[in-house]
Amino acid sequence: MSRAAKLTLTGTSLFALSTVVFVHYQQKAEQEAMHQGVVRDMEQQRVKRERQADFDMQRLLEAEYKKEQTVRESTGDEPAGAGAGAGAGR
């Protein structure tokens, strides 16, 4: 084998080997990034479920309190003197 052929074979072999190593590490990095994304998504879903559970609990408590207490919605539409004199006769 000539010297030029040996150098060409060595060069192409090193290039192929470095390409394989580069692709291997690139895939490992992408796999790790994907895993971190999955972990982040699972954490967001866990937080969302906790918040939904808290919201449902608050809704149940509100319904229970409304059963036990008389609750009326207050809007700003009452006449000016209606609220002041209503409790004065008691």
Render pLDDT for 12-34 as a digit per residue (tens, 0 to 9). Answer: 999 999 999 999 999 999 999 99
Enter the tokens of residue 25: 């590490």
Domain span including residue 57: 32-67
Q: Which residues, at least 6 apart from 71, have a Cβ–Cβ distance to it below 8 Å?
A: 65
Q: What count of residues does the chain have?
A: 90
User: At which residue do the structure tokens 């699972």 appear?
Assistant: 42
- Asked if residue 88 belongs to a domain, the reply is no
Residue 56 lies in a domain: yes
d(CA 71, CA 66): 6
Residue 44 inside a domain? The answer is yes
Which of the four pLDDT bands, split at 50, 70 and 90, describes residue 76? Answer: low
With DSSP H G I counted as helix, E B as strand and the rest as coil, what are the percentages for the chain, rounded to 5? 80, 0, 20
Is the confidence at residue 90, as pLDDT, over 50? Answer: no
